[in-house]
Amino acid sequence: MKRLRILLLCMALPLAAWATNDPLTVRNAWIKQLPPVVPVRAGYVTLVNNGKQPLRLVAVSGEDFARVELHETELVDGTMRMLQRDAFDIPAGGALELKPGGKHLMLFDPARPLSAGDSTELLLEFDDGSSVRQAFEIRP
């Protein structure tokens, strides 16, 4: 019996190491709930780069939106403005936080009503050709 436990442990250790070696961790993915008549939503998420190479988020899309853009709120000539960006960088061993008042996603023309508690899936695409599908929760 002891040998069997040791054998099972030896088989499980590489799997546990493999499961935690994912180069990207996605946390706290959510979209702000707004009335259905409002054609634009804001999306937020934290992307943690566990890898040794920087990552660059270059595109986001989802079936529930006509288009998704990368935006950043910035002070320009004394006025806060939202500026569209081509990409967001995630340093190796670092994180990118998309949050209210900073970098965020702008999601245009929802295809269906999205209420608090619902979720929608977005595809996050990176410049190295990799991508991640992630569920975003709708929050009030």
**pLDDT for 72-90, tens place per residue?**
999 889 999 999 999 999 9
What CATH number belongs to 22-139? 2.60.40.1890
Structural domain spans, the chain:
22-139
Tell me the mean pLDDT in the region 69-74: 96
Rounded Cα distance between 65 and 138, Å, is 13
Say what the pTM is: 0.83
pLDDT value at position 42? 98
Contact assessment for residue 43 and residue 104, using Cβ atoms and an 8 Å cutoff = yes
Rounded Cα distance between 118 and 64, Å, is 12
Higher pLDDT, 17 or 33: 33
pLDDT value at position 11? 53
**pLDDT tens digits for 103-133?**
999 999 999 999 999 999 999 999 999 999 9
Q: What angle do CA 114, 116, 121 make, to 5 degrees?
A: 55
Question: Measured between alpha carbons, how far is residue 86 from residues 26, 46, 67, 91, 97 in Å?
Answer: 20, 18, 14, 16, 16
Higher pLDDT, 3 or 60: 60
Contact assessment for residue 41 and residue 107, using Cβ atoms and an 8 Å cutoff = yes
Contact assessment for residue 61 and residue 38, using Cβ atoms and an 8 Å cutoff = no
Rounded Cα distance between 41 and 81, Å, is 16
pLDDT exceeds 70 at position 37: yes
Q: What is the mean pLDDT of the chain?
A: 89
Contact assessment for residue 34 and residue 41, using Cβ atoms and an 8 Å cutoff = yes
